[in-house]
Chains A and B, each alone.
Chain A
Amino acid sequence: MTLSEQGPLSPYRILDLTDELGFLCGKTLGDLGADVIKVEPPGGDAARLIGPYLDGGRDPEKSLYWFAFNNNKRGITLDLEPPEGQALFKRLVAKADFVLETFRPGWLEAIGLGHDVIRAANPDTVLVSITPFGLTGPYSRYRATDIEVMAMSGCMSLTGDPDKPPLRVTFPQSYQWTGSYAAMAALVAHTQRRRTGRGEHVDVSAQACMLWGFSHAHTFWDLNRSVEKRAGSFMTGRTITGAKMRVFWPCKDGYLNFIIYGGEAGRKTNQALVEWMAEKGEAPAFLLEKDWRTFNIEQVTQEEIDVMEEPIAEFFTGVTKAEFFEAVTGRGMLGYPVSTAQEILADPQLKARDFWQEVEHPELNRSITYPGGFARFSEFPCRIRRRAPLIGEHNQEVYGEMGLDDGELARLSDQGVI
């Protein structure tokens, strides 16, 4: 098979010892063709008990979280603590081009498999350590789940109503940010390895990855000592008067995201909206007469914004999400409905681009619709080639490739090593 069929990373093997903080790293490299081997403790990874589940039951072989973030991986089990497990692990490392891990800093050292041991077993490998705060430093030993990362990165201070607690996104986000940015880091180190022939140790901090999630909000402090804060359904930071613009508007069947913007795109949008309102006889005279060419969003006052937003809010209450989507795409306006999973699955754009991918799950006697690749490459596919592994599904295959025979595998299994 060639790279143009299998993807550019198909010559490389990756050992994936990550939990949910790093799942997307191996998955992303797998999308590009890498042979990713997910190494789970005997009995299966704890993250197999992250929901939602197929058919609702708490079954480690039916976690949709697992399905979604561990496809394009083969799966083996291995206990890293006993000497025999460690010996096997070192043999695996010797053949691995990348090793990905998310253990709490210090744990690998404690069991005798410190980063230096792993790198000594294969100096050419790129070792990627993914942790909430980094391998060293005052918070490196802190325990953190998604909400702690979202808090410590600063993200939460920008989300929520001013008179209520700061918010995270209800579905964890920091894990995916960290995993996908770790994939970037792994490939940067790999690019260097092509030149030097040597691997590197990559230290990825989830807290630092998440900093990009809120763009440039912190620069208001850096430049002008003003602090951006959570503002509920409003957008701040786009004016120098401090005026804030409404983002979310109740409509007939949910919410719309529409913002009074400035600039060329904003001018076109505001003009098109007023025309649409006028067609329905709902544009007040002052909006019809407004000269958008001279409208300067940076200088606008809160009073001006409030006056403009009132009739728009009234108008949107009579519009459905689908009508709004048709209007914005048809009229070249900025704005989108606040979509749910149902609407995303039905989106004609994604269908036309053949985004969704049917993946066979023979163990379930069915196929499942997955989001397809993250990009279109003109030279090679970026897609799901295999569903996520069952527990220990590829033990025989992977250990067999290393020369272990069935007898040895049975013995290791009896001893609980695999």
Chain B
Amino acid sequence: MKALEGLKVVEAAAYAAGPVVGKHLVDQGATVVHVESRIRPDGFRTHYPPYKDNIHGLNRSGLFALCNSEKLGITLNLKKGPEALALAKRLVSWADVLVENFSPGTIGRLGLGYETLKEVNPRLIMLSSSNLGQTGPHAHHPGFGSQLSSLAGFTNLTGYRDGSPQILYGPYIDYIAVGYGVVAVLAALEYREATGRGQHIDLAQYETGLQYLAPLLLDYSLNGHIAERDGNRHREASPHGAFPCAGDDNWCVLSVASDEQWRALCQAMDRPDWGGRDEYATAERRQKRADELEARIGEWTRRFEARELVEKLQAAGVPSGVVNGMDQVYDDPQLVHRGQWNRMDHPEIGTMSYQRAPYTLSESDGGPDRRDPLLGEHNEYFYRELLGLSGEEYETLTQEGVID
């Protein structure tokens, strides 16, 4: 049995910040309905590679698949007047949770703001996830996580000293907000269990990201110190960084947090004499000679295959790890051991590796147990079986293009 069985979630959401909240809920057993329309499908279906075999197609996006496994996929064109609005309200009265990530103000203009919806369903928990929050002078500014990660300070802390900031691949901060979004929904559910009351949650991705950098914000406000990027260096530990291994562009990392670990590293390198050398005796001294020291360690590490070297260092008590490439995360022995990937068939993608939760529960199962939906795949099942529309109602709404 899964932990969230019975929880009903509607997502009027697209891209990552909303739908991945639903992804974490569906993985634990919630029934999650992903709402799109044919005139505006989820942007991840239409604008974000990869597509299977590089061939564009609504049902060929790996990113959409990753974020929407096991959900029910339905269509509803909200621009189709009062019938569409009435149907949306029926969805809301069915749901425990509504997740939306329209830009602030939009859902209100559509006639589906929280004040309206709580009349429809006072027990509704509505999560509004946005870039900068629902209020404030910049609330309406559109944005993507790849750029918000810069406003929130992450990219300034990424890169080599004196070099350009570096990107954290994609919408890094969106997935920080996702974690907090799920926490927020579950906290609101707890509150509803005790009080019977639903509520609205205003989740600003910006504000969730700042939680991760809190010590540096205090450092500035108290000490006037502005933290900057410094490659892989560490404020106290040394050596600390990435080192080349045998082969083309293979790397390992290692970190030395104590003099004991330093001596263990020297032993492992067959350079016990370095362990006794004065100029390397303390972390502070090693830091002063970091360039020289890193070059010497690199000469040693490049003689070994990365996994083999990491085994050796771990056995010696030195923290180290392989820099896994994107082709290696699928067969990383530890992730495989945890069953991190669930390979399932998809009619257009073929076999897709769906991602499971980063945690396991001793007495509850975890999904996903079904692939992501094709656009509108579950219209009939959801509207007829779960929402209870009559055959006639369903036909009419389909003909009118409300269910498009």
B155 to chain A: closest residue by CB: A338
A67-B218, A200-B364 known; A187-B190 Cβ under 8 A: yes
In the complex, chain B residues whose CB is within 8 Å of the CB of A142: 310, 314, 319, 321
Pick from A184, A225, A240: contact of B179, CB under 8 Å = A184
Give the residues in chain B near A212, CB-CB below 8 Å: 20, 175, 178-179, 358
With A185-B357, A263-B43, A341-B153 as given contacts, are A148 and B338 in contact (CB-CB < 8 Å)? Answer: no
Give A196's nearest chain B residue, CB to CB.
B363
Q: Give the residues from 135 to 188 in chain A that come closer than 8 angstroms, CB to CB, to chain B.
A: 136-145, 147-161, 164-171, 173, 176-177, 180-185, 187-188
**Segment 64-113 of A: residues with Cβ below 8 Å from B:** 64-65, 67-69
- CB of A69 within 8 A of CB of B218, answer no
* Cβ A151 vs Cβ B324 within 8 A: yes
Q: Is the interface of B mostly helix, strand, loop or mixed?
A: mixed
Contact of A64 among B146, B187, B219, B314 (CB under 8 A): B219
For chain B, which range describes its interface: under 10, 10 to 19, 20 to 34, or 35 or more residues?
35 or more
Q: Which of B3, B136, B194 contacts A191 (CB 8 A)?
A: B3
Contact A215 B227 (CB under 8 A): no
**A171 to B, closest residue via Cβ:** B157
Cα-based distance from A2 to B266 in the complex (angstroms): 59
Cα–Cα, bound, A344→B368 (Å):
38
- The number of chain A residues with a CB under 8 A from chain B is 155
* Cβ 8 A contact of B322, one of A152, A198, A337: A152
Verify if B201 is at the interface (C-beta below 8 Å from A).
yes
Known contacts A169-B157, A180-B179: A151-B323 contact under CB 8 Å? yes
Question: Given the complex, which residues of B lie within 8 Å of A42, measured CB to CB?
Answer: none
Nearest Cβ distance between residue A417 and chain B, in whole angstroms?
A: 27
Most buried by A among B201, B318, B319, B326: B326
> Chain B nearest CB: distance from A166 CB in Å?
5
295-351 of chain B: CB within 8 A of chain A: 310, 314, 317-330, 332-335, 337-338, 340, 349
| Stretch binding the partner chain, chosen from A50-58, A286-294, A309-317 | A50-58
**With known contacts A8-B190, A222-B353, A237-B49, A161–B160 Cβ distance under 8 A:** yes
With an 8 A cutoff between CB atoms, is B214 at the interface? yes
Residues 22-78 (chain B) with a chain A CB within 8 angstroms: 24, 28, 43, 47-54, 56, 62-63, 65-67
Instruction: Let me know if B226 and A340 touch, CB within 8 A.
Output: yes
Q: How far is the CA of A138 from the CA of B3 in the complex (A)?
A: 28
- Complex Cα distance, B170 from A44, in Å, reads 39
With A159-B167, A204-B358 in contact, do A221 and B153 touch (Cβ < 8 Å)? Answer: no
Interface assignment of B106: CB less than 8 Å from any CB of chain A? no
Which residues from A are CB-within-8-Å of B220? 340-342, 345
Q: Is the CB of A167 within 8 A of B321?
A: no
* CB closest residue in chain B, given A139: B334
Q: Say yes or no: is A278 at the interface (Cβ < 8 Å to chain B).
A: no
Confirm or deny: A416 has a beta carbon within 8 angstroms of a beta carbon on chain B. Answer: no
* Selected A-B contacts with CB under 8 Å, 15 pairs: A67-B218, A147-B240, A152-B324, A153-B324, A157-B251, A169-B154, A187-B182, A208-B358, A211-B355, A235-B167, A248-B166, A259-B147, A336-B151, A337-B150, A345-B220
6 A-B pairs closest in CB distance: A219-B62, A215-B170, A137-B337, A208-B358, A68-B214, A148-B321
